[in-house]
């Protein structure tokens, strides 16, 4: 079996295994797995509305995945994507609602505000890591809570004691008549283009620039890089800032596209944490992140249709979805298994 | 070369998606038709009703559950079955699910769709403007659409009675209030409770705490622990799932020391069962928010073609929309009589309960 075959087979087998075990879970709990999977399929690709909503769901996952992946490539664990996303969301909505500008300026400005807020939120952990060797995992986790509650307080102050912000002006919205009419009133917005553009940006920075080379070098071996004359501290901060900017953009997509405002939250969105899985599934490469985000986003949105169309309780659905992702993450084991088989065959 | 192969793979995938999608939808329709046929009676296709829960879920022992109870009762009364053409619910795992869920129910041709909870306001507004043939109802918020009725409750009136009950029960002259997230609805609970306590005895201390969440029982437990430790003996919670922690703290104290004077006043549904410790019970009473009554009422009206679209309907003590639950002997007879006095005064308008605590009025 050629290497290429194995590369193609691994994800396919992983998904099929996940679906099989999921089917067993559904059977054991007394539900019809065939109906369940038809509902899942329908929920993802069933009609133009579902496709539009699925793409909408994928958008922030791509950006959150990029954020984690970018930091990871430079040897940093950015667990703070969640918090950076929340401040990015708020900043984008604030600029989108508080200023009255022509669309060509307003929309990019709002998006940039989200990116800047996320970058700023990641700058601090980067600085602490670079200057004082404080581990970024602890700092970013704590920054998540700070972000959540600071933003809640800001929303309350801004709205005068209410629990949601004003709606953004039309000139800052990523939504479009064209896209929603195309997809039967779904909330599909132009954010997907932003996300895909960022995939290219990440690839370009990492593969085509000196800065990217330095960042990766620091990720591979800090000491060797230092010996080669690279500034470790500067690279750590830069990496966190870029990672935070991606995360902030994910928040901006939610604020300017999906919701159009922001509510006070009792807990996290979960997108930032899922972003870790998205990045790892995609082996921390830009293209891989797209794959991971498509898997996560489709399953998450499609799963909504399983209680709806097949009467399977949400809890069972979540187990099934988790199983699929679990098996995809176990790709390495499947790869090992396949190589063993092919080696045996060769030996014969 | 690699790119071409990738493109090919992509188009094959898309084509497969379209084909499979198409045959899938056929199956779906068939199943739906069968469902309608097997449903038998003409009642099945007559009037159907469904609801979308907020993030609390349908078994939150609170107002989502109450709304679902109302829908189930309406379904039983009218010989409906769960599923298409009858009654059903969808749960939301996060805020981003509201719109797809509301949309899904409207597309399944339910005649009336309830959105439960103020958090669904924007989502319901958007869907109601798109799905003009479906009737919508929202609980705890106002949506101005001709096909939507907004259902509000005078939580402050019911909470006033809870305050009276707490004030007449406390021995330490200290009572507590545990709120969920701070918002207009929970402020109404707080306002009514404080006024009720003060109406009985202005010298009673009231400890007011917000936990910031409706789904964090552990937060409710620590808050209750702090309150009981500081001498509070009656806690009124308006915190959904967070309030379950208040119950578990009270029950722990009661089972450690059967003579402990700890009470909880439940919220939204009758939470008597939550407070059972062996033979005793820590639930003093519950401030009932009869979401089930409102849901049933609107469903009946809509079924008879009298759907009050575009209106805002408020349920107070006078409409039996809010009330105290049966205490099953935990409140002595003479206290019950005093509570009933206040109840009549509020119903007749003799006592006017302020909607919001001072300084927390919505702008």
B240 with B336, same domain?
A: yes
pLDDT by residue (tens digit) across B141-159?
A: 999 999 999 999 999 999 9
B79 with B135, same domain?
A: yes
**Model pLDDT, residue A243:** 96
Q: Which CATH number is A265's domain given?
A: 1.10.3470
Cβ-based neighbours of A131, under 8 Å, separated by 6 or more: A233
Query: Which residues in chain B have Cβ-Cβ distances shorter than 8 Å to A305?
Result: 104
**Model pLDDT, residue B5:** 54
Cα separations in angstroms, B147 against A274, B74, B101, B119, B144? 38, 20, 18, 19, 9
DSSP state of B146: T
Query: Which residues in chain B have Cβ-Cβ distances shorter than 8 Å to A254?
Result: 96
B282 with B294, same domain?
A: no
**Model pLDDT, residue B43:** 43
Do residues B70 and B269 touch, judged by C-beta distance below 8 A? Answer: no
The total number of structural domains in chain B stands at 2
Pairing of strands B322-324, B283-289: antiparallel
B159 with B148, same domain?
A: no
B275 with B167, same domain?
A: yes
pTM over 0.90: no
DSSP string, A96-111: HHH----HHHHHHHHH
A46–B25 C-beta distance less than 8 A: yes
How close is the nearest chain A Cα to the Cα of B203, in Å? 29
For residue A85, pLDDT over 70 is answered with: yes
Residue A38 falls inside a structural domain: no
DSSP string, B289-319: E-HHHHHHHHHHHHHTT---TT-EEEE-GGG
Burial A115-136 (b: 16+ CB within 10 A, else e): bbbbbbbbbbbbbbbbeeeeeb
Nearest CB partner across the interface for B181, out of A49, A163, A254:
A163
Burial A15-36 (b: 16+ CB within 10 A, else e): eebbbebbbebbeeeebebebb
DSSP state of A258: I
Query: Which residues in chain A have Cβ-Cβ distances shorter than 8 Å to B94?
Result: 269-270
B131 with B78, same domain?
A: yes
How close is the nearest chain A Cα to the Cα of B339, in Å? 32
> Is the minimum CB–CB distance between A163 and chain B shorter than 8 Å?
yes
Query: Which residues in chain B have Cβ-Cβ distances shorter than 8 Å to A32?
Result: none
Nearest CB partner across the interface for B24, out of A46, A152, A267:
A46
The total number of structural domains in chain A stands at 1
**Model pLDDT, residue B55:** 82
Do residues A282 and A69 touch, judged by C-beta distance below 8 A? Answer: yes
Residue B229 falls inside a structural domain: yes
For residue A93, pLDDT over 90 is answered with: yes
B168 with B277, same domain?
A: yes
Cα B28 to chain centroid distance, Å, stands at: 32
Helix (H, G, I), strand (E, B) or coil at B81: coil
Nearest to B357 by CA among B162, B153, B218, B193: B193
Domain that holds residue B89: 42-153+290-316
Residue B171 falls inside a structural domain: yes
B136 with B196, same domain?
A: no
For residue A251, pLDDT over 90 is answered with: yes
Q: Which CATH number is B176's domain given?
A: 3.40.50.2300
Query: Which residues in chain A have Cβ-Cβ distances shorter than 8 Å to B101?
Result: 304, 308
B119–A266 C-beta distance less than 8 A: no
For residue B28, pLDDT over 60 is answered with: no
A46–B21 C-beta distance less than 8 A: yes
The predicted model gives B240-266 an average pLDDT of 92
Instruction: Record the tokens describing residue B71, joined without a space.
Output: 């829908």
> Is the minimum CB–CB distance between B3 and chain A shorter than 8 Å?
no
For residue B22, pLDDT over 60 is answered with: no
CB atoms within 10 A of CB A273: 16
Residue A65 falls inside a structural domain: yes
For residue B2, pLDDT over 70 is answered with: no
The predicted model gives A1-5 an average pLDDT of 71
pLDDT by residue (tens digit) across B127-145?
A: 999 889 999 999 999 999 9
pLDDT by residue (tens digit) across A276-315?
A: 989 988 888 999 999 999 998 999 999 999 998 888 888 8
Nearest CB partner across the interface for B24, out of A41, A263, A269:
A41
> Is the minimum CB–CB distance between B17 and chain A shorter than 8 Å?
yes
Nearest CB partner across the interface for B24, out of A38, A187, A269:
A38
B109 with B164, same domain?
A: no
Query: Which residues in chain B have Cβ-Cβ distances shorter than 8 Å to A45?
Result: 17-18, 20-21
Which of A31, A38, A168 would best serve as a mutation to test chain B binding (most B beta carbons within 10 A)? Answer: A38
**What percent of chain B has pLDDT above 70?**
87
Q: What confidence category does residue A1 fall into, taking pLDDT thresholds of 50, 70 and 90?
A: low
B69 with B159, same domain?
A: no
Residue A277 falls inside a structural domain: yes
Pairing of strands B135-139, B87-90: unpaired
Instruction: Record the tokens describing residue A82, joined without a space.
Output: 């969640």
Nearest to A13 by CA among A342, A314, A324: A324
Domain that holds residue A196: 60-306
Residue B294 falls inside a structural domain: yes
Task: Return d(Cα A63, Cα A68) in angstroms, integer.
Answer: 9
Nearest to B249 by CA among B178, B173, B197: B178
Pairing of strands B148-153, B205-210: unpaired
Half-sphere exposure of A336 (CA within 13 A, CB side): 4
Strands (E), chain A: none
Determine which helix (DSSP H) or strand (DSSP E) holds B226, and give its type and residue range. helix B217-229
Q: What confidence category does residue A348 fall into, taking pLDDT thresholds of 50, 70 and 90?
A: low
Residue A317 falls inside a structural domain: no
Q: Is the dihedral of CA B323, B329, B335, B336 positive or negative?
A: positive
**Model pLDDT, residue B63:** 82
Residue A196 falls inside a structural domain: yes
Task: Return d(Cα B151, Cα B313) in angstroms, integer.
Answer: 5
Size of interface A-B (CB pairs under 8 A): 89
Q: What confidence category does residue B35 fall into, taking pLDDT thresholds of 50, 70 and 90?
A: very low
B120 or A161, greater pLDDT: B120
B219 with B283, same domain?
A: yes
A263–B119 C-beta distance less than 8 A: yes
**Model pLDDT, residue B156:** 95
Task: Return d(Cα B87, Cα B113) in angstroms, integer.
Answer: 10
The predicted model gives A248-268 an average pLDDT of 92
How close is the nearest chain B Cα to the Cα of A45, in Å? 6
Radius of gyration of chain A (CA): 21
Q: Is the dihedral of CA B36, B39, B41, B42 positive or negative?
A: negative
The predicted model gives B336-353 an average pLDDT of 93
Q: What is the ipTM of this complex?
A: 0.78
> Is the minimum CB–CB distance between A284 and chain B shorter than 8 Å?
no
B149 with B161, same domain?
A: no
Residue B268 dihedral angles phi and psi, to the nearest 5°: 70, -65
> Is the minimum CB–CB distance between A183 and chain B shorter than 8 Å?
no
pLDDT by residue (tens digit) across B88-117?
A: 999 988 888 899 999 999 988 999 999 998
Residue A323 falls inside a structural domain: no
For residue B11, pLDDT over 70 is answered with: no
Q: What confidence category does residue A160 fall into, taking pLDDT thresholds of 50, 70 and 90?
A: confident
Residue A239 falls inside a structural domain: yes
Question: Nearest residue on chain A to B214, judged by CA atoms?
Answer: A266
> Is the minimum CB–CB distance between B5 and chain A shorter than 8 Å?
no
A45–B20 C-beta distance less than 8 A: yes
What mean pLDDT is reported for chain A? 91
Task: Return d(Cα A209, Cα B212) in angstroms, integer.
Answer: 46
Task: Return d(Cα A329, Cα B306) in angstroms, integer.
Answer: 55
């Amino acid at each position: 079996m050629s290497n290429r075959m194995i590369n193609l087979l691994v994800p396919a087998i992983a998904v099929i295994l996940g679906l099989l075990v999921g089917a067993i879970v559904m059977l054991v709990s007394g539900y019809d797995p065939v109906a369940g999977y038809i509902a899942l399929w329908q929920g993802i690709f069933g009609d133009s509305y579902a496709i539009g909503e699925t793409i909408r769901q994928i958008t922030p996952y791509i950006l959150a995945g990029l954020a984690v992946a970018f930091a990871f490539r430079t040897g940093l664990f950015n667990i703070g994507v969640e918090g950076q996303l929340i401040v990015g969301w708020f900043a984008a909505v604030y600029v989108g609602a508080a200023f009255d500008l022509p669309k060509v300026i307003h929309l990019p400005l709002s998006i940039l505000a989200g990116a800047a807020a996320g970058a700023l939120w990641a700058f601090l952990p980067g600085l602490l890591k670079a200057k004082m060797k404080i581990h970024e995992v602890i700092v970013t986790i704590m920054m998540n809570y700070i972000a959540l509650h600071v933003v809640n307080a800001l929303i309350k102050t801004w709205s005068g004691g209410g629990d949601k912000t004003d709606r953004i002006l039309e000139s800052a919205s990523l939504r479009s008549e064209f896209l929603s009419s195309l997809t039967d009133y779904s909330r599909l917005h132009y954010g997907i283009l932003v996300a895909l553009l960022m995939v290219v940006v990440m690839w370009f920075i990492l593969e085509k620039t000196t800065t990217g080379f330095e960042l990766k070098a620091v990720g591979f071996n800090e000491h060797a890089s230092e010996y080669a004359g690279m500034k470790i501290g500067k690279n750590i901060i830069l990496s966190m800032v870029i990672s935070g900017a991606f995360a902030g953009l994910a928040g901006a997509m939610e604020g300017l596209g999906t919701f159009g405002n922001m509510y006070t939250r009792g807990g996290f969105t979960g997108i930032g944490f899922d972003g870790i899985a998205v990045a790892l599934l995609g082996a921390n490469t830009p293209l891989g992140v797209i794959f991971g985000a498509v898997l996560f986003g489709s399953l998450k949105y499609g799963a909504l249709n399983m209680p709806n169309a097949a009467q399977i309780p949400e809890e069972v659905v979540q187990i099934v979805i988790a199983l699929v992702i679990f098996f995809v993450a176990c790709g390495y084991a499947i790869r090992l298994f396949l190589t063993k088989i092919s080696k045996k065959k060769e030996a014969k | 070369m690699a790119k071409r192969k990738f493109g090919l793979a992509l188009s094959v995938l898309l084509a497969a998606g379209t084909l499979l999608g198409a045959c899938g939808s056929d199956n779906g329709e068939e199943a739906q038709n069968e469902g309608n046929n097997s449903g038998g009676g003409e009642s099945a296709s007559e009037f159907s009703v469904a609801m979308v829960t907020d993030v609390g879920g349908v078994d939150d022992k609170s107002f989502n559950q109450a709304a679902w109870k109302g829908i189930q009762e309406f379904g039983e009364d009218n010989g409906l079955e769960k599923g298409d053409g009858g009654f059903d619910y969808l749960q939301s795992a996060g805020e981003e699910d509201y719109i797809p869920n509301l949309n899904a129910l409207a597309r399944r041709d339910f005649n009336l769709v309830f959105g439960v909870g103020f958090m669904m306001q924007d989502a319901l507004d958007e869907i109601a403007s798109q799905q003009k043939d479906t009737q919508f109802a929202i609980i705890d918020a106002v949506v101005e659409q001709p096909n939507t009725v907004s259902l509000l409750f005078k939580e402050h009136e019911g909470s006033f009675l809870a305050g009276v009950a707490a004030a007449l029960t406390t021995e330490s002259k200290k009572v507590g209030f545990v709120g969920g997230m701070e918002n207009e609805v929970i402020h109404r609970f707080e306002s009514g409770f404080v006024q009720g306590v003060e109406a009985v005895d202005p010298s009673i201390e009231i400890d007011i705490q917000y936990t910031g969440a409706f789904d964090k029982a552990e937060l409710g437990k620590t808050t209750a622990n702090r309150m009981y430790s500081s001498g509070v003996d009656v806690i009124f919670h308006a915190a959904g799932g967070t309030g379950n922690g208040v119950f578990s703290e009270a029950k722990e104290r009661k089972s450690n020391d059967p003579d402990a004077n700890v009470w909880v006043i439940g919220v939204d549904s009758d939470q008597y069962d939550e407070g059972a410790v062996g033979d005793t019970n820590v639930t003093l009473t519950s401030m009932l928010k009869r979401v089930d009554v409102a849901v049933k009422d609107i469903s009946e009206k809509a079924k008879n073609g009298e759907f009050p679209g575009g209106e805002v309907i408020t349920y107070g003590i006078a409409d039996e929309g809010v009330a105290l639950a049966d205490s099953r002997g935990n409140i002595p007879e003479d206290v019950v009589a005093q509570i009933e006095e206040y109840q009549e005064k509020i119903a007749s308008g003799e006592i006017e309960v302020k909607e919001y605590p001072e300084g927390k009025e919505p702008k």
